[in-house]
Structure 1
């Protein structure tokens, strides 16, 4: 028997009971309401017999959630295992064949490069996908594609533009100019939000919650590509100046710790502002959007500028390192709190 067709109305402030209701995303279908939220199960409205109330024979099963709620920890553990596996075998081979590396240059394993650049991003992206709801109109596969395509496209545009600004300001590959680093926030945040908007044009739902997801995904993709460049450079410099593998490991730790609180947070907050300003499924350029862009661009430039000053000012290297570490920790905490407060407000508004 076909399900009944009725609208979900709150009863005395409580959520409506489980049942089939008009699909808020597509008027041609009914969608199963679990009593707490929309599910992925639909029924064609044309097949519903009028005035024939009936409940489903059995409650639909919720969709499978991949590797479970602890999937992020599984991804992180797998990355740690890869590092231990490769480094352990490297030590073993060095012990049984101590001159095996004398015949050629030292080469970095692509497994170490990829896991070093992308582990934290993959963990966060998994957690984001796991928290998607049917009523969001955004699937996990689409979010992953947005992260990959958006990150690649944004870096392909922002990288050359930043390089041109650096050359014009007199910087070099080894010593980039302060101008290029400060203006990188203006360039990169504009390019990332452009990628967010283009990739989200066809999304059925455009609100601040979806903006957090899509903006954060593009920011994660951007940070992974950027991290790959930093780690390659660190490995090459380590082999050149005698720092060896240690410089690569130190850079990996730094990028993995700060990465989630830079590009992803900036893009998520700006994405939330852009999506919140959308009306009738169309994006709009409002004063709030402009102010949000200027805010994240200024924060981005401030972080880069402080890093550049710490590395160029004539002061004790150890003191400079401690000052830079303290600033980065303060910045990470501040940006994380900003994201937490805004995401909670959005959660209350969309509840």
Structure 2
């Protein structure tokens, strides 16, 4: 089996699963309980928070555990808008954000907020000057993803952060779900107020995540209930999940330097091989792109049929993002990049992890060419 769908989810490290089982079995107490079993769980939660904060180079008090990227994005966007709506009702984002950001913005529009959706260029990149031009007196919030989940474009977060230093009252949220552990990001230096991450994207477990909330930045909680996560995220804490995520993040960052170089080499091999196959167009830009995502289109072929043809050869890839793949609609990101609708409808995404190999890449190229040729013969 060759697994090339790591942007949808990664295979958890064995050590991560082991830590989850150990904590769940031996330290199962509620961290809010006053007895010693609860105290043990609380200590583990504190240690996990400290470890995640250290790995992200932020303060432990700025880390809030969530269930993943979708919750983190919704909490940052809706929570900040709810608490700061008295200062203004205008928000800015791009036209190529993850559905959890786009849908949150659309819900706020229904509540009377105004959202500017900025276009991107042919590489899928937003222009910093466009963001600054869109800022108004009533702008309170900007949300920009770090790495696009469909094509891998890296957005100019550093330049945006520097520009926003001239606008200290505007809150800045970054969806770093696809970049954490793969593309370094200095949260404090880039003037970021909120930053979302998700454990299962870096070999942690599904249902685990964290939201960075800069010290001094405020938002309203989405959940009503207890006072967990310093009253920001009510609900009994997932101690085992937090510990497992901290371990996954540590292991990923320890492997990052060598892993990134390996993925770059494999991505280059795949790009070269795909460019040699007739009827294939590579959509991922050659510059300002993450090393783990490669998006391409198949002229005159349906991506769903193609994906199943590859699966029969033991190779697993995807269409658009996992959140949108079953809708059978063209990639919104590619449409916004100016890709013709027919090609946007036939898009396929390969996404790598540190565990993939050059041999897998060569096997995949041969399988892709074979599947494409076979499907075209059927259409003749």
Q: Could you state the TM-score of these two structures normalised by the residue count of structure 1?
A: 0.25
Instruction: Answer 1 or 2: higher relative contact order, Cα 8 Å, separation at least 6.
Output: 2
More strand by percentage: 2
Q: Which of the pair has more CA radius of gyration?
A: 1
More helix by percentage: 1
